[in-house]
């Protein structure tokens, strides 16, 4: 049976039962996989490295937060006068591939590339704060060195803690901490110099 156009603009199409199509559609953010509650919980997990990580939250591959944090890092580097902020994205891709390979060899469970990218991106937050601090103050001195080392340890400890809780590698935190420290050391070098 063919429906005739009634001539009304902006009227939703109806089912044969009389309900609107729009009521059945999920919200756009849910459709895109963006959950602000999970983003907040992951951010709090990174900001409090002494709190035990919930592996089920981090096992979800949410890339919205890491993309926002890497954009924030690039913007703060640019505001600090660093012209090499484009290296952030190249290092991020190479680091994710390297960590994915390393963790897939070390973990008895399967690891996904999205999980690795999500954890590494969320744990970038202390370096974003360091870069924001570098907009106003120089990091080339004793205070900058102490802040940079603190940021590297904070990021690396958070990332290794999340990886070992998500991938069931309880006895291997130091083995995961070391490559994370090298990765976040590169980001810190971009921030300081």
Tens-digit pLDDT profile for residues 153-183: 999 999 999 988 888 888 888 999 999 999 9
Cβ-contact 125, 68 below 8 angstroms: no
Rounded Cα distance between 114 and 29, Å, is: 18
Q: Pinpoint the alpha helices (H) of 54-86.
A: 55-58, 64-79
Q: What was the pLDDT predicted at 21?
A: 54
Q: What was the pLDDT predicted at 14?
A: 56
Cβ-contact 120, 66 below 8 angstroms: yes
Buried b / exposed e across 85-118, counting CB within 10 Å, b at 16+? beebeeebeebbeebbebbeeebeeebeebbbbb
Average pLDDT, 10 consecutive residues per value, the chain (193 residues): 64 55 68 79 88 74 87 90 74 87 88 89 94 93 95 95 86 92 92 88
> In a 3-state reduction of DSSP, which class is residue 20?
strand
* Tally: H helices and E strands in the chain: 9, 0
Quick one: tokens of 175?
Answer: 């083995």
- DSSP class of residue 14 equals B
Upper half-sphere CA count for residue 168 (Cβ side, 13 Å): 5
Q: What was the pLDDT predicted at 132?
A: 95
Q: What was the pLDDT predicted at 8?
A: 62
- What's the helix, strand, coil split of the chain in %, to 5? 65, 0, 30
Rounded Cα distance between 118 and 53, Å, is: 14
Domain boundaries, the chain: 62-192
Total-model pTM = 0.81
Q: What was the pLDDT predicted at 27?
A: 75
């Amino acid at each position: 049976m063919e429906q005739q156009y009634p001539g009304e603009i902006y009227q939703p199409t109806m089912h044969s039962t009389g309900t609107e199509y729009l009521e059945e559609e999920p919200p756009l953010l849910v459709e895109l996989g963006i959950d602000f509650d999970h983003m907040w919980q992951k951010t709090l997990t990174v900001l409090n490295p002494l709190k035990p990580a919930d592996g089920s939250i981090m096992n979800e591959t949410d890339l919205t937060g890491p993309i926002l944090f890497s954009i924030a890092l690039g913007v703060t580097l640019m505001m600090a006068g660093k012209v090499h902020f484009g290296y952030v994205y190249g290092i991020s891709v190479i680091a994710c591939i390297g960590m994915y390979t390393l963790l897939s060899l070390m973990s008895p469970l399967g690891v996904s590339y999205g999980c690795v990218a999500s954890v590494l991106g969320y744990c970038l937050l202390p370096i974003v704060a360091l870069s924001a601090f570098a907009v106003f103050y120089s990091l080339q001195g004793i205070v900058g060195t102490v802040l940079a080392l603190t940021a590297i340890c904070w990021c690396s400890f958070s990332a290794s803690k999340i990886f070992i809780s998500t991938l069931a590698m309880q006895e291997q935190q130091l083995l995961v901490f070391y490559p994370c420290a090298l990765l976040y050391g590169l980001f810190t070098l971009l921030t300081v110099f």
